[in-house]
Amino acid sequence: MSLRDQIRIMVVDDMSTSRGLITQALDAFGVRNVSTAENGMDAIKTLASHPAHLVISDYNMPQMDGLQLLHHLRSNAKTKGVGFILITGRAEQQIIDHGKKLGMNNYLKKPFEQAGLRNCIEAVVGRL
């Protein structure tokens, strides 16, 4: 059984269009076990009952931004080992450096191509 058949990925983005683009790309890669959340708070609730191997999160979201979500995941014993990719239109060095300090595994700048997303994911979890 290949990695893409086993991996569980959560996509967190407040914009349904962005969530759709990412989930469509994952589907094209053959990844079937994908869940979504509209914000960091929903993601935390869902992950408590449906753990994931990898979280792909937008940076700019209401209530809790992507780095606050990352900090929460890394502070919790059950989620501290979850892979984390930040997707942002604001790939400023300060944001990236802060993400790396918090334990971000990788990041991707919007807009992105499917190949770029795949490379970003594979750099974290291995070949899909």
Question: Measured between alpha carbons, how far is 14 from 39 in angstroms, rounded to an integer?
Answer: 6
What are the strands of the beta sheet with 83-88, ordered from one edge?
34-37, 9-12, 54-58, 83-88, 106-109
Question: Is residue 74 a contact partner of residue 103, using CB atoms and an 8 Å limit?
Answer: yes
pLDDT tens-digit series, residues 6-49: 999 999 999 999 999 999 999 999 999 999 999 999 999 999 99
Map out the domains of the chain with their CATH numbers.
3-125 (3.40.50.2300)
Q: What is the DSSP letter of 70?
A: H
pLDDT digit string (tens) for 59-112?
999 989 999 999 999 999 999 999 999 999 887 899 999 999 999 999 999 999
Q: What is the pLDDT of residue 111?
A: 92
Amino acid identity for residue 6 in this structure: Q
Whole-number pLDDT of residue 39: 95
Q: What pLDDT was estimated at residue 1?
A: 77
Residue 102 to residue 104: CA distance in whole angstroms: 6
Residues 67, 86: contact at Cβ < 8 Å? yes
pLDDT at 58: 97
